[in-house]
Structure 1
Amino acid sequence: MRRRRTPDPHRRRPVRARAFPVVAAALALGAGLLPPLPQSAAAEAGPVDHCAQQCADILPPGQNGNATLAEILAHRTLGTRPAHSADQLGRYEDLVAGAPTLDDATLTRFFNDASFGVPEDQVASVTRPRDDVTITRDKKTGVPHIKGTTRSGTEFGAGYAAAQDRLWLIDLFRHIGRGELSSFAGGAEANQQLEQEFWRAAPYTEEDLEEQVDRIAADGERGRQAMADVQAYVDGLNAYREKAKKQRTFPGEYVLTGHVEPVTNIGEIKPFEPTDLIAIASVIGGLFGNGGGGEVQAALSLLAAQQKYGAEKGTEVWEDFRMRNDPEAVLTVHDGSSFPYAGKPDEVRGQALPDPGSVGEEPLVHDRKGSAAEPAEAPVKAPAKLKPLQNVYDDGVLPGDLFSRKHGMSNALLVSGKHTASGNPVAVFGPQTGYFAPQLLMLQELQGPGISARGASFAGVGMYVQLGRGQDYAWSATSAGQDLTDTYAVELCAPDGGTPSADSLHYVDDGTCRPMEKLERRNAWKPSLADSTAPGSYRMEIHRTKYGTVTHRGTVDGKPVAYTQLRSTYQHEADSIIGFQMLNDPGYVKDAASFQRAAQNIDYAFNWFYADSRETAYYNSGANPVRADGVDPSLPVLAEEAFQWRDFDPADNTAAYTPPEQHPQSVDQDYYISWNNKQAEDYTSAGFGNGGVHRGDLLDSRVAKLVDEGGVTRAKLTRAMADAAVTDLRGEEVLPELLAVLRSEPVTDPQQAAAVQKLDAWLDGGAERRETAPGSHAYGHADAVRIMDAWWPRLVEAQFAPGLGGELYDSLRRNVAVDEAPSAGHGPTGGHAGSAFLSGWWSYVDKDLRSVLGRPVEDEPAKTFCGDGELSACRDALLASLEEAAAVPADEVYPGDDHCDAGDQWCADAIVHRALGGITQELIHWQNRPTYQQVVEFPQHR
């Protein structure tokens, strides 16, 4: 059975059925019989808006994400941009300078008014793509406000407006979801890498996608309604697609990539189908809603620790770095509630550690030809009249490591009405989905039967608002990342009964030697106006077992095994549509309790937050599998029935899941913060290094102070977020301990003393990375920032490498990167990414230094590393690394790239909106802040 949700009279147990007859029946359900919308509907009042102009939001760079070929040409030659493609960028950036003096009256200088509807004098355009829906766009932002007299009309309008704003991006993502990006957008190396990374994580056949459509459509009344909404949304996408093709107003990228001929208009923009939306949903879920994995690398670092220190001591040292349940970690639910999940068992059973030196990664790519095998000898030249567009996509349309890099997404700050000036809760929250042009998210308002919401939706799956506000409530999410994924060691076999080889394509299942299922995807590309690579092709091949897809091979106790990865959301990428449907339904969500019930229907690993005029609330969603007794989810496990998920059914990848009451949750706690930190006591973190220093501390300390003072306002809470957004975590949280070690004796060397003094002054000034004045492009305490950026990787190595030894140090760095400063292109999220300081060694450094200093440390580590525990030796090592770092010139610390000159510190940090099409954007000041963000305070309730 599927996960045990809270009972709902409109839901029933899923059954298998064929997709399209069921969808046709669902369309009849969604049609509606309300009277037609009158001509004056654009100016009519919508539902009562209980936010009373106290809801605001922002989503840079701008709403418009489509550009015709002429507009792209004009942008490349004249620097112009289409309307509403960059008009939210400046206000977003300006909060850096404006935050210190911000008050409630000036919030709209930096955020959009997120009220329902469009005032008569602000109507920019009215479109009626069908008689039962009107799309009204406002003058200031161009956001579509969609009103339908029928349910299907509302969803048709949502699809039509999405295509108006994001047609090319939606097309990109359906091809990524199918593992076909290079065939669609060109053979750039990044495109190849991206489709390979994604398809490795979610390899689906067309039948797999159709089965997901079937399952949702057969899932009771809400499931049928969901698929009716999907079909109407797809119809809207296709209606605009056809119109744009006829009128030649389609995105110019179709010409640049060779899909449409620019003169004759010959070519096709392929129609969309419901299965395309399942493919897109799998991309979004893969990016932001997964958790766990990495058990093979975790096992390799454990083996290295045991080799270095012996089995018992090595395991203790490894556990210190694993930090499964560190008592010093900042928590979202901090009222003492405990929610045990995925912890280390008292007695471990079924563990499948590989034999040392036996592990190899499963090859994915085969049969490379042309530019897939080696770089093209010479770029293909575009016609002279299109020369400014040459090489638009030479680097790929998306970062090639978009899926393989660890992503630090989203933050949330909420304060209960007991501590606010008005007596109503205040929230500042939003997702960090990266910076792209156009953005992955788009703004919209949906008003129709059973739907009333405004906010952000991912392009291509915008049937509902995914993060936003309703009539008298608002909600948002942060990525939770709890462990939804396990690694199994599947015993290999030979079908003839002989000795299996290490690359056998058969495995043991309940005593029978069964063949693995082979999944293939072939990609081929030819040169286009926007791709200078030569023709090429290759084949991707993955093998699937009942325990998931094969990722590695090795031996366990001398027997050959395939390591497979199994996640609970695999083959269920779109099931969460029911939860989003509920969040948009004003008849369902009426208070904190009903909000939490809606969130229980979302299977992805998210932290959900809610605020209305009376309550705040939190719920951690996710299809958390119930594991067999004794299974350690942090390490590989034997693929045997005794160790598989409880009630596991491989036919559709279902199992027993932890019930809602076991998920971290709370109502009206004094305040909540979340920045991808630990959710609650005993809720084990999926990754390494989640300890006493986390970027969530930057929010927690500021919000706790506001709550202690009382009288919290929207502006005060926004200032707390904005202040944390320009603060260096290492400077605020770890530098005090570093300085304490350095000053345990007088620093007499002049160069060392000068560096210490600069760092001390920076700390006194707030350890910020902020311009001295708007537009100066120069940081205050710039030299101290440079020293810290150069020093951190050196001090970590000086502190830990001598004690760990090279092999173990390197292995642990593969579990968690040492640094993630804004300018660290080598870090988990890459350079110019905005999001920073999520994944690093700050907790290790801090805990180890406190041990050396003799200060209190909860959960004392098994070994102290810095100076082997001797304060003077630790000081000498840190001073030597500091002196070396201080001497590194800026052009080496910030070596320059396609966007910045070497030595340009501000630019090295600056946020780049990665161009997904022909329109680019200007760099903006670094902010560690959500991409889409809401500021809300409801003064009244229905």
Structure 2
Amino acid sequence: MNLLKKIVKIVIIVFVLIITGAWLYSKTYHPNYSGELELNNLTKKVTVYFDEIGVPHINAENQKDAYTALGYLHAQDRLWQMDLVRRIAAGRLSEIFGEKLIRTDKLFSGLGIEEASDETIKNLDKNSEHYKLAVAYLNGVNQYIEDGKTPIEYTLVGVEKEKYTLKDMYNVYGYMAFSFAIAHKTDPLLNEVKEKLGSAYFKELIGAEFENLTYIKNEAKPELTGSFTKAMHDLYSVLPISPFIGSNSWVIGADKTKNGKVIFANDPHIGFSQPSVWYQAHIKTPNYEMYGFNLALTPFPLLGHNREYAYGLTMFENDDIDFYIEEENPDNNLQYKTENGFVDYKLIEKRLKIKGRKDSIYTIKVGRHGPVMNGLVDHLDDTRSIAMQWIYTMHKNELLEVGYELSHANSLSEFKAGTKKLHAPGLNIMYGDAKNNIAWFASGKLYKYRDSLYTKTYLNGASGKDEILEYLDFEQNPQAVNPSWNYVYSANNQPDSIAGILYPGYYLNEDRAERIVQLLEPKNNWTKEDVAKMIMDVTSPNAPKIASDFVNSINQNKLSASEKKAISILKSWKGNFDKNEVAPVIYNRMVYEFQKNTFSDEMGEAFKQFENTPFIEKVLPVQSKRVNSVWWDDVTTKNKIETKEEIVTSSFRNTFSFLQSQLGENVENWTWDRVVSVEYKHAVGEVAALRKYFNVGPFVTNGGDQVINNQIYDIDSTGVYKVKAGPSTRRIVDFSDVENSLSILPTGQSGRVFSKHYKDQVKKYLNGDFVKMKINKEEILKSKNVLIINPK
């Protein structure tokens, strides 16, 4: 008995020691939020106050010291995220994740991002302020790599830390630019429809681009001084860092607010991942202040505010990628044809390092229209050589300057000068200030082709007739400055005409835009609280119209009582995607069945890629109200032409049968919260044993696809809606009370799994709550965690 007691005692002691050791070990992986440390290249002491959500408030005597500290602090919270994003554009993910990322690496390595980064760095002005501050930031990052604790992910994956360079920074910009683009997800599909199905099918699809549009209006007034279809789908699905997708922003002019000052709102929509995309930091020096949101490995915030102005962005969705069919020399495939004869491709050799395998060496052919994508994209099923022309790699890259100038402007005029320097990606840059200016600039290098050319299918690379004819002056870009209607907004929708044309792009459907205008237009006493409520709005103005078109086309003979109940719920729906609503469940399944029954017989396997593109979302409201369509006929049935009624009725019966099987007999129990969820996934959370430690969630969430609180998911055969993207932050800046401006992140400020700020915002985010963006000095000085950084 005594022996047994001794064994039990020893086991308990060992267990306690293991738990204590694990706890102590985990503490070494915490970011350093208090105490003192020393850094090289500082001229004076920097004091950092960390607030309740882990945001560093950096107080320095000069900006160079502040940006050195920012780099160090950014790295201690987000080093692993920095590593992943710098590897994407360089095609280096296979080094750490192995074979499943080979195709993604080959694609990105061939886009020309690295070569464009090299060219840009060669021409940088080493005496410019933006260059000096970028170098200071990188110096801070690299000092953390040298002296700071290695994040646990490096140990789990088995990879060594590497120091960062300016090229890594520019590669991040390149990835951002490509992930904003939509052409590579749409053009190959449209080209296939045109070539394989013919003009009748093609014209019906592209006709939807010019219907159901809510235009962003243009008006410029003076400043107030005021005193690849499948391939691309597959490649993006395995990325450990999520792409940029959509966004909302609106800025309400002083005449429409209760307190007579501008209110600014912005929520960029980006693929969800863990950690969150944005890193918050507040910099204060004697002559500079900015509360900003930075992307990984970027020194200057793309979203920010201070007491004088606020700015943010949405994706412009303009067309800045075009595909060309290159006619190669039949006697020498290293040459391609131009209007002046055959010329040589430029050949670039690439080496791909793969974890657990020998290196892969391959050659990329680059012509005047860019790299030939065959071989870079395994599923590019075309015997012709397809080249990709991308504005990002064609022109001078001033993205570092853009970030600096947006975050260091002293007036609206200076801010606008910064927006002019953006060539790609196209962004709607939003602005509001304490002097009651509001503005929207659609920024990017815009250009024209010959009038009859449709650029969303493959162009002729040999003729010389399908080339860019001219670039537009920035003043011809869509924009509005202090417009007479007293607000500006963007929801990735079509801008009104410029230079006599509607500028082509991949604009999203009008739902969010229409709802924003619907809410903003009639009200003239807006408050911060009203805007906070609006940013969480879950009502679609167009979904009920589509649902009504469905209901009116269903043959309701011989329906059961439960089927009639489902139709009644759909018919009376107001378009709201609240958790306890039944209609969204019926509607989303109906949309899937309707689109499948309409398009899949002609498209075959390509339908799986078409069903979740922005393009099909624009087609849906147009197709649902058509009476006749070439797409209605099911080509798999012989000697019979299907009608709209047959397609819609069949879709409803399939919907009802599926939902009964999935959710039970009682229609009233088919609530939205039973099928929608969100999980914020970490790269190493893909390993089942690590998922619960690194991933955050899953949670039931509120909202739906293309409502203001945009929860983006695939509508597919599964009948469950796993949210993959949405607001990457929500921000509200009220210039009548700027010290109490609001924000929220989806999970938390830190990317370190043992940090208390890894997921401390998630419940607030899901509930539609906010936290304060502190800029009040007295409040900041009360922070419990203070880190002193001394010169070494």
Which of 516, 521, 524 is equivalent to 2:350? 521
Structural mapping, 1:287-306, within 5 Å: 287-288=179-180, 294-306=186-198
Structure 1 counterpart of 2:274, which letter? A
Distance 2:581 2:24 in 1: 35
Q: Percent identity?
A: 16
Which of 232, 235, 238 is equivalent to 1:400? 238
**CA 332–676 in structure 1, closer or farther in 2 if over 3 Å, else same:** same
Matched, 1:141 2:53: yes
Distance 2:230 2:587 in 1: 39
Matched, 1:767 2:576: yes
Structure 2 counterpart of 1:159, which letter? G
Matched, 1:923 2:698: yes
Distance 1:226 1:607 in 2: 22
SS of 2:59's partner is strand
Which of 403, 419, 426 is equivalent to 1:605? 426
Match of 2:86 in 1: 174
Match of 1:545 in 2: 367
**CA 569–874 in structure 1, closer or farther in 2 if over 3 Å, else same:** same
Distance 1:536 1:812 in 2: 34
- Which string of whole-angstrom CA distances, capped at 9 and with x for unpartnered residues, describes residues 235-274 of structure 1? 1111111111xxxx22122222323xxxxxxxx5222222
Q: List runs of 5+ in structure 1 lacking aligned partners.
A: 1-69, 86-122, 260-267, 307-313, 338-359, 365-394, 494-498, 527-533, 554-558, 648-655, 771-778, 819-826, 829-838, 853-860, 895-902
Matched, 1:464 2:375: no
**CA 664–362 in structure 1, closer or farther in 2 if over 3 Å, else same:** closer
Distance 1:916 1:445 in 2: 28
Distance 1:716 1:193 in 2: 47
Are the counterparts in 1 of residues 515 and 540 from structure 2 also a CA contact under 8 Å?
Answer: no
Distance 2:633 2:252 in 1: 40
User: Which is further off, 229-238 or 280-289?
Assistant: 280-289
SS of 2:245's partner is coil
Structural mapping, 1:575-594, within 5 Å: 575-587=398-410, 590-591=411-412, 593-594=413-414
Are the counterparts in 2 of residues 203 and 519 from structure 1 also a CA contact under 8 Å?
Answer: no
- Which string of whole-angstrom CA distances, capped at 9 and with x for unpartnered residues, describes residues 584-627 of structure 1? 1143xx13x44333211112211111112312210101122343
Structural mapping, 1:328-477, within 5 Å: 328-333=212-217, 399-400=237-238, 408-448=245-285, 451-461=288-298, 463-477=299-313
Match of 2:147 in 1: 243
- Which string of whole-angstrom CA distances, capped at 9 and with x for unpartnered residues, describes residues 433-460 of structure 1? 2222112321112334875311211010
SS of 1:633's partner is coil
Distance 2:183 2:231 in 1: 23
**CA 336–321 in structure 1, closer or farther in 2 if over 3 Å, else same:** farther
Distance 1:492 1:880 in 2: 48
Which of 487, 494, 502 is equivalent to 1:678? 494
SS of 1:432's partner is strand
Structure 2 counterpart of 1:520, which letter? E
Q: List runs of 5+ in structure 2 lacking aligned partners.
A: 1-17, 222-227, 376-381, 636-641, 665-669, 686-693, 704-709, 711-725, 739-792
Shift of 1:840: 5.6
SS of 2:731's partner is strand
SS of 2:217's partner is coil
SS of 1:187's partner is helix
Shift of 1:923: 2.3
Shift of 1:886: 0.7
Distance 2:220 2:124 in 1: 38
Structural mapping, 1:322-333, within 5 Å: 322-323=206-207, 326-333=210-217
Shift of 1:506: 1.9
Structure 1 counterpart of 2:210, which letter? D
Structural mapping, 1:96-175, within 5 Å: 129=39, 130-132=42-44, 134-175=46-87
Structure 1 counterpart of 2:415, which letter? F
Are the counterparts in 2 of residues 848 and 865 from structure 1 also a CA contact under 8 Å?
Answer: no
Matched, 1:789 2:588: yes
Shift of 1:492: 0.9
Match of 1:486 in 2: 322
Are the counterparts in 1 of residues 50 and 56 from structure 2 also a CA contact under 8 Å?
Answer: yes
Match of 1:187 in 2: 98
Matched, 1:844 2:619: yes
Matched, 1:939 2:758: no
SS of 2:699's partner is coil
Shift of 1:789: 3.2
Matched, 1:319 2:203: yes
Structure 1 counterpart of 2:496, which letter? A
**CA 877–435 in structure 1, closer or farther in 2 if over 3 Å, else same:** closer
Structural mapping, 1:247-266, within 5 Å: 249-259=149-159
- Which string of whole-angstrom CA distances, capped at 9 and with x for unpartnered residues, describes residues 445-499 of structure 1? 23348753112110101x2111111331111111112111222232211xxxxx4
**CA 125–455 in structure 1, closer or farther in 2 if over 3 Å, else same:** farther
Structure 2 counterpart of 1:522, which letter? R
Structure 2 counterpart of 1:181, which letter? L
TM-score, length-scaled by structure 2: 0.73
Distance 1:561 1:867 in 2: 30
Structure 2 counterpart of 1:302, which letter? K
Matched, 1:732 2:732: no
Matched, 1:665 2:479: yes
Which of 601, 620, 633 is equivalent to 2:442? 620
Structure 1 counterpart of 2:458, which letter? P
Match of 2:131 in 1: 227
**CA 336–840 in structure 1, closer or farther in 2 if over 3 Å, else same:** farther
- Which string of whole-angstrom CA distances, capped at 9 and with x for unpartnered residues, describes residues 643-679 of structure 1? 36558xxxxxxxx531112111002343333222212
Distance 1:323 1:401 in 2: 33
Matched, 1:506 2:335: yes
SS of 2:264's partner is strand
SS of 1:888's partner is helix
Distance 1:399 1:842 in 2: 20
Match of 1:285 in 2: 177
Shift of 1:509: 4.6
SS of 2:421's partner is coil
Distance 2:633 2:446 in 1: 38
Shift of 1:161: 1.6
Distance 1:606 1:512 in 2: 38
Distance 1:188 1:257 in 2: 14
The number of equivalent residue pairs is: 661
Match of 1:913 in 2: 680
Distance 2:660 2:24 in 1: 32
Shift of 1:510: 5.9
Shift of 1:915: 0.4
Shift of 1:296: 4.0
Are the counterparts in 2 of residues 438 and 917 from structure 1 also a CA contact under 8 Å?
Answer: no
Structure 2 counterpart of 1:615, which letter? N
Distance 1:278 1:72 in 2: 43
- Cα RMSD for the two superposed structures: 4.3
Which of 654, 662, 684 is equivalent to 1:884? 654
- Which string of whole-angstrom CA distances, capped at 9 and with x for unpartnered residues, describes residues 836-879 of structure 1? xxx26354343344343xxxxxxxx98695999xxx95334322
